[in-house]
Amino acid sequence: MEGKSAVSHHRPTRSPKKIVVVCAGVGGLACAVRLAKKGHAVTIFEASSHVGGKCRTEWIDGYAFDTGPSLLTLPAVYRDLFLKTGKRLEHILTLDPVDPSFTYIFHDGKKITFPNLSHNGTVAAISEQLGEDAGKAWHEILQRAEAMWEASRESFIEGELRSPLQLLKRPHLLSDLKTIAPLTSLRSLTSSITTNPYLKKIIDRYATYTGSDPRKVPAVLLTIAFVEEAFGAWHIQGGLGSLPLSLEKRANELGVEIHLNTRVTSIKTIDGIAKGVNLQDGREIEADIVVANADAEIVYNSLLPPMKESRRARKALRKATPSLSGYSLLLGLRGRSDLSHHTVFFPEDYDDEFDAIFQRKEPVPDPAIYICNPQDPLMVKKENSESWFVLINAPRHEPESGCDWTSPGLKEKYADHIINLMESKGLQIRSRLEVLEIRTPADLESQTNAPGGSIYGTSSNGPRSAFLRAKNRSAIKNLYCVGGSAHPGGGLPLVGISAEIVAEAIEELSAQ
């Protein structure tokens, strides 16, 4: 990947293993593909009727929507995977850079358009709209973000994070600590560089890429700003759901067996060692290694029996704050607008969004509104039409102790409220509406088996959050965790990296 040695050490697998992958999310598929390429016998069991989990392109009455990821960053992760397991990605998928990458519109009507893949262009756009000081501040923020990326990439992101002690052995520990500022929050770091309220909102929003609160996440999340600017914002023609479909195809070519509609009810262990899985249909499947791609909460609290080997992992999960969820509207609209591919409307009081989600646990009254208007002819059946995916950050579905998204009338009332807000910002919706579908956190939970509908497993709230996330190599021998709720975290790039970490760890074991 960019900034990373593309050469992986391809030792021949000395002893091929029988490996069961629980779930066909992007992480499970990516890991299965890498393992099969190394010669292992891999079988995937997936509860739903399709691969890809949260990453999916859905067609409704002639309109296609990316109902999960709608922005691909760091495509090099998947370029690397496809290249090393067969034909390169460009033979299978068409990636388009999205230009402009984002249009940000603020409560007072101020608008900034970020060009894709251009630091100087972004500085110029900010300087023009917010003044030269703000442009200079963006430059300083992005320089710090790049330094953080360099200091954290190998050890925090691409490597297994086995313990805090491991980090103390780094060669440039002191200078890296100064750069990363582990005890500083993202909000504090931004505030130390600029007082510009518009820039602060743009930076705050990166915390939500991991489902978190900018006032609580470590400053190192600033790396997301660098990754997005330096390596670009990308769209996959036909929708991002084409990514898991291509992974499925590659997996089939490499002999991976994929069983859909097949729920795993438990992971079998004997004397603290994973030995296979039990399926809902009563079958018992033996395996040398189990790779779990379900949410870590499900892995540790329902698929595994309570056992001393998993005590630490369960305790860490209890301590972590779950990530926020999402409420979305799928809008099929007649006619065309001038809305760019990714647009964010910011509210006046952005802090209230995080208070509503994490403290009051109620739908956000005046939320940031993200609209994805892909303008991809492959995503609409009729020429003169648009499919908009509207995503609002939302509290999880917690009927007992928080927000109950199934309360009668709630989702419809909130949709009405959001559409009113959008129309008050000058967007025409009701007069153009052909399709309206609502997805709440409760739907996300039932459709993807993500507890509470959390988008990213555990959040990054708090300086120790990275250490509370499930480790890739679990304390239960022969059990590995891959995907958005395991290290290094959620989002397609990190999920792809977690698949690589797990495949390498298993390779290490089987080469012994």
Ligand X SMILES: Cc1cc2nc3c(=O)[nH]c(=O)nc-3n(C[C@H](O)[C@H](O)[C@H](O)COP(=O)(O)OP(=O)(O)OC[C@H]3O[C@@H](n4cnc5c(N)ncnc54)[C@H](O)[C@@H]3O)c2cc1C
Q: Contact positions toward ligand X, by CB under 6 A?
A: 22-28, 45-48, 53-55, 68-71, 263-264, 293-294, 298, 326, 328, 391, 444, 448-450, 455-456, 483-484, 490-492, 495
Taking the complex as a whole, the smallest distance from the CB of residue 472 to ligand X amounts, in Å, to 12
Q: Which two tokens stand for residue 67?
A: 């109902």
Helix (H, G, I), strand (E, B) or coil at 286: strand
**Is the CB of residue 325 less than 8 Å from the CB of residue 454?**
yes
Pick between residue 48 and residue 185 the one whose CB is nearest to ligand X. Answer: 48
Phi, psi of 447 (to 5 degrees): -80, -30
Q: Which helix (H) or strand (E) holds 205?
A: helix 197-207
Pick between residue 194 and residue 440 the one whose CB is nearest to ligand X. Answer: 440
| Alpha carbons 447 and 51: distance in angstroms, whole number | 12
Which DSSP state fits 346? P
**Is the CB of residue 275 less than 8 Å from the CB of residue 287?**
yes
Give how far Cα 102 sits from Cα of 63, 157, 210, 273, Å.
Answer: 22, 25, 18, 47
Pick between residue 25 and residue 363 the one whose CB is nearest to ligand X. Answer: 25
**Residue-wise over 46-60: b if at least 16 C-beta within 10 A, else e?**
bbbeebbbbbbbbee
Taking the complex as a whole, the smallest distance from the CB of residue 192 to ligand X amounts, in Å, to 28
Pick between residue 193 and residue 290 the one whose CB is nearest to ligand X. Answer: 290
Pick between residue 33 and residue 193 the one whose CB is nearest to ligand X. Answer: 33
Taking the complex as a whole, the smallest distance from the CB of residue 456 to ligand X amounts, in Å, to 6
Taking the complex as a whole, the smallest distance from the CB of residue 304 to ligand X amounts, in Å, to 11
Give how far Cα 11 sits from Cα of 250, 504, 512, Å.
Answer: 21, 10, 11
Which DSSP state fits 210? G
Pick between residue 69 and residue 347 the one whose CB is nearest to ligand X. Answer: 69
Q: Which residues touch 283 (CB under 8 Å, ≥6 apart)?
A: none
- The packing angle between helices 76-85 and 242-253, to 10°, is 20
| Alpha carbons 58 and 452: distance in angstroms, whole number | 22
**Is the CB of residue 389 less than 8 Å from the CB of residue 434?**
no
Taking the complex as a whole, the smallest distance from the CB of residue 71 to ligand X amounts, in Å, to 4
Pick between residue 23 and residue 64 the one whose CB is nearest to ligand X. Answer: 23
Taking the complex as a whole, the smallest distance from the CB of residue 87 to ligand X amounts, in Å, to 23
Pick between residue 24 and residue 371 the one whose CB is nearest to ligand X. Answer: 24
Taking the complex as a whole, the smallest distance from the CB of residue 109 to ligand X amounts, in Å, to 26
- Residue 169 exposed, middle or buried by CB count within 10 Å (0-12, 13-18, 19+): exposed
Pick between residue 137 and residue 161 the one whose CB is nearest to ligand X. Answer: 161
**Please, which residues bridge with residue 268 across strands?**
276
Taking the complex as a whole, the smallest distance from the CB of residue 163 to ligand X amounts, in Å, to 23
**Is the CB of residue 44 less than 8 Å from the CB of residue 24?**
yes
Pick between residue 462 and residue 491 the one whose CB is nearest to ligand X. Answer: 491
Taking the complex as a whole, the smallest distance from the CB of residue 246 to ligand X amounts, in Å, to 14
Q: Which residues touch 343 (CB under 8 Å, ≥6 apart)?
A: 102, 103, 104, 105, 370, 371, 373
Taking the complex as a whole, the smallest distance from the CB of residue 396 to ligand X amounts, in Å, to 12
Taking the complex as a whole, the smallest distance from the CB of residue 22 to ligand X amounts, in Å, to 6
Q: Which helix (H) or strand (E) holds 267?
A: strand 264-270
Pick between residue 122 and residue 328 the one whose CB is nearest to ligand X. Answer: 328
Length of the chain: 512
